[in-house]
């Protein structure tokens, strides 16, 4: 039994809500979230006066893997082709749920010939909104 008051969370679930419905994703192997926000020093005539925050979007790099011959559980290509807006969620076991709304597929990169019989894809999602953060 661990005495660590802040154990590392290692169970994450992913969900999508698009025109095909709301469902948990099993093929997602990881997500990297990068905020486009930044802070800058604000200067006035007599020197610095504080800081300003620029509003940026959020980019999510979604990694997926599935066996050859098995279809993607999300039609990422269709979402990109239709420019569909959808919701992507990241749920930490016993922790917060981050809902990224108004997502759009920016790019899709496929990996072939990995030698393990799996198809790997990197899907880049973008949204201009901050995530909704829901507490458990």
Supply the pTM of this predicted model: 0.80
21 versus 48: the higher-pLDDT residue is: 21
Q: Give residues with Cβ within 8 angstroms of 41, minimum separation 6.
A: 48, 50, 51
DSSP 66-110: EETTSPPSS-HHHHHHHT--EEEEEEETTS-EEEEEEEEEEEEEE
| Domain chopping of the chain, boundaries | 12-134
Q: What is the pLDDT of residue 114?
A: 65
Q: What is the b/e burial string over 67-99, where b = at least 16 CB atoms within 10 angstroms of the residue's CB? A: eeeeebbbbbeebbeeeeebbbbbbeeeeebbb
At 11-35, the pLDDT tens digits run 899 999 999 999 999 999 999 999 8
For domain 12-134, give the CATH number. 2.40.30
At 62-118, the pLDDT tens digits run 999 998 889 999 999 999 999 999 999 999 988 899 999 999 999 999 986 667 878
Gap between the Cα atoms of 72 and 18, Å rounded: 14
Q: Is the pLDDT of residue 1 over 90?
A: no
Gap between the Cα atoms of 69 and 119, Å rounded: 9
Gap between the Cα atoms of 136 and 133, Å rounded: 10
């Amino acid at each position: 039994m661990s005495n660590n008051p802040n154990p590392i969370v290692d169970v994450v679930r992913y969900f999508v809500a698009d025109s095909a419905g709301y469902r948990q994703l099993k093929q997602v192997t990881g997500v990297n979230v990068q905020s486009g926000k930044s802070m800058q020093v604000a200067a006035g005539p007599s020197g610095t006066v504080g800081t300003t925050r620029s509003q940026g979007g959020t980019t999510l790099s979604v990694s997926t893997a599935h066996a050859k011959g098995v279809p993607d559980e999300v039609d990422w290509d269709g979402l990109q082709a239709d420019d569909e807006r959808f919701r992507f969620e990241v749920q930490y076991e016993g922790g917060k749920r981050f809902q990224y709304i108004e997502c759009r597929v920016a790019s899709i990169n496929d990996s072939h010939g990995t030698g393990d019989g799996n198809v790997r894809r990197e899907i880049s999602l973008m949204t201009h909104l901050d995530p909704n953060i829901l507490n458990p």
